[in-house]
């Protein structure tokens, strides 16, 4: 069975994330979407809410395939991959700087546990969208609906879109 993991903080999950998840799900028999916690970062959304929003967004996106949403709050990503029998990590690449950053991590993950990393190039329609951009727009009262699934927009802007 071909198993892969798409890890991320998903703070919040964006339409770009869903595009990568949907495309990755078509490449493997089982895909684990792993919400990770980075204690060095102050997140916008509580961890449990991020996990819930990822689950709901994937369910509503009608992504085909065996997709499991899970959470990792401590330990190494590669240890999780080994536990679930994953052969690969899937990472979305939006910019050249993403490639540089992710390449170093891919080499370390392969060295630590033999886990390969597969890079999927972002769809041009969502390549400009990042969680940090969404957080900034939301914090300033802007309309994030073009960039996130409806469940995320509803959670962050319960009274509807606002103009900044």
Indicate which residues carry an active-site annotation: 17, 41, 94, 131
Residues 44 and 11 sit within 8 Å (Cβ to Cβ): yes
CA 133 to chain centre: 14
Burial class of residue 13 (count of CB atoms within 10 Å of its CB; 0-12, 13-18, 19+): buried
Distances (CA, A) of 151 to 3, 18, 23, 27, 115: 27, 13, 21, 26, 32
CA distance 123 to 120: 9
């Amino acid at each position: 069975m071909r198993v892969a993991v798409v890890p991320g903080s998903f703070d919040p999950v964006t339409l770009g994330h869903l595009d990568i998840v949907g495309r990755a799900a078509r490449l493997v028999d089982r895909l684990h979407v792993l919400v990770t916690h980075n204690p060095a970062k102050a997140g916008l959304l509580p961890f449990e809410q991020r996990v819930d929003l990822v689950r709901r967004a994937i369910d509503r996106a009608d992504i085909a395939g065996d997709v499991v949403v899970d959470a990792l709050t401590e330990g190494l990503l590669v240890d999780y991959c080994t536990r679930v029998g994953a052969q690969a990590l899937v990472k979305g690449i939006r910019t050249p700087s993403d490639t540089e950053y992710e390449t170093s991590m891919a080499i370390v993950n392969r060295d630590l546990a033999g886990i390969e990393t597969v890079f999927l190039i972002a769809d041009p329609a969502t390549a400009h969208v990042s969680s940090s951009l969404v957080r900034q727009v939301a914090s300033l009262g802007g309309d994030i609906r073009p960039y996130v699934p409806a469940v995320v927009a509803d959670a962050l802007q319960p009274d509807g879109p606002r103009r900044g």
